[in-house]
Amino acid sequence: MTVQAAYDDSPTRPLAAPRRAGTRGPLALARAWGPFLVPAVLTVAVGLTGLATPAPGPRERLTRAVSALTPEQILATARDTDAVNTFYYLLMHFWTGLAGDDVTALRLPSVIAMGIGAGLAGGLGRRVLTPGAGVCAGLLLAALPAVSRWAQEARPYALAFLCATGATPLLYRTLDQPRWWRWAGYGCLVTLTGLLHVTALLVLAGHAFTVVSRWLLSRQPALFWWFPVTVLSLVPPAPLISLAARQRAAELAWHPHLPREIVEGLPAAGVLVIGLALAARWPDRALIRELAVLAVVPPVALLAATVLTGKAWTPGSALPALVPITLCAAAALRGLRFRAVVALLVVALLALPQQREIRSPDGHAGAVAADRRHAGDRRRRHAVRQRR
């Protein structure tokens, strides 16, 4: 029997942790559910803190106004503008009918979605790494200011983050044990991701790399079901995406001052987590490569599209990339329990100033300023067309 060398490129079956027969005690339950519950509860708790304090920005006021329309009016409005957010507005229409349209009610779905997404990130860490690494990755994610910022925004970013994050562990489970219902669930999550926010679909580039990587290692033909499933799952959101592209909707036509936006959006806590991620190590190097592609490709593609066309970057668009980044950071802290605790405390302390800032009454002022710049850009483009 051939013995695999450590740190080779052979699959070490990290996608589904081995089942432990007969272990149903408290420790087993903590290992199974802790990586999901701890980050989820903490993220929701942090998101609820000061939830109603920041004044709603223009985009949130737009959410309130459009969700107050009837479904027929929302669909009619989509034919003229903002088609890319139609599905989100329909969801918010039914939500506000139940919960009301005050600031807290409008933002609550985003808080819950971000919390569940953080829990799924921890669960993914448990599956592909270890339960401890899953908890560490989820806690790092919960401590980042960007997570709180977009958890407190009545826009589709958090919901798209939830669907994109949920699709990744489901894909890993399906690649490990292909079943038709798992492929169907994965396809539904991809469809919801596309309906909620088109740029979140960039996670599919990382998923494609994962499928090819696993096929090169295992040569299992069943893995290639990913391609037809993904194509079919993109059919429902395709009309909205096409219509939104023709409209040059706000999500696809924001011209930011790119360097300044990126620097301001990358706090010290984020820099530390990225630095830890760059030091990631794991016996299955193929897994680290897959996580690296998931972390790098979406933001790089968005930045490249923005540089070339000026029509792609929004601050919440790269949220799904935070999951593989924190997973790589947790892998870098593997076996270093004291250092992991210190790293978590340092990240939380570095994040405190921005956490307080985003909970101030003008905590969404950055979004307001961006909306004003976008409006000015549109007026200038309209003036140029009129002169021509």
Whether residue 54 contacts residue 359, with contact meaning beta carbons closer than 8 Å, is answered with: yes
**Residue 254, Ramachandran bin (φ over 0: left; ψ between -120 and 50: alpha; else beta):** beta
Instruction: Please choose, from the candidates 127, 119, 122, 178, the residue with its C-alpha nearest in 3D space to the C-alpha of residue 19.
Output: 127
Integer Cα distance of 135 and 326 in angstroms: 10
Residue 330: which of 164, 128, 181 has the closest Cα? 128
CA 101 to chain centre: 25
pTM (predicted TM-score) = 0.85
* Full pLDDT tens readout for the chain, 388 residues: 333 333 344 344 444 444 444 456 777 777 888 899 999 999 999 999 989 888 888 889 999 999 999 999 998 888 877 788 899 999 999 999 999 889 999 999 999 999 999 999 999 999 999 999 999 999 999 999 989 999 999 999 999 999 999 999 999 999 988 899 999 999 999 999 999 988 889 999 999 999 999 898 888 888 889 999 999 999 999 888 888 777 654 444 444 444 444 444 556 777 888 888 888 888 888 899 999 999 998 888 877 766 665 555 566 778 899 999 999 999 999 888 888 899 999 999 998 988 888 888 887 765 544 444 444 444 444 443 444 4
**109 burial via Cβ count (<10 Å: 0-12, 13-18, 19+):** buried
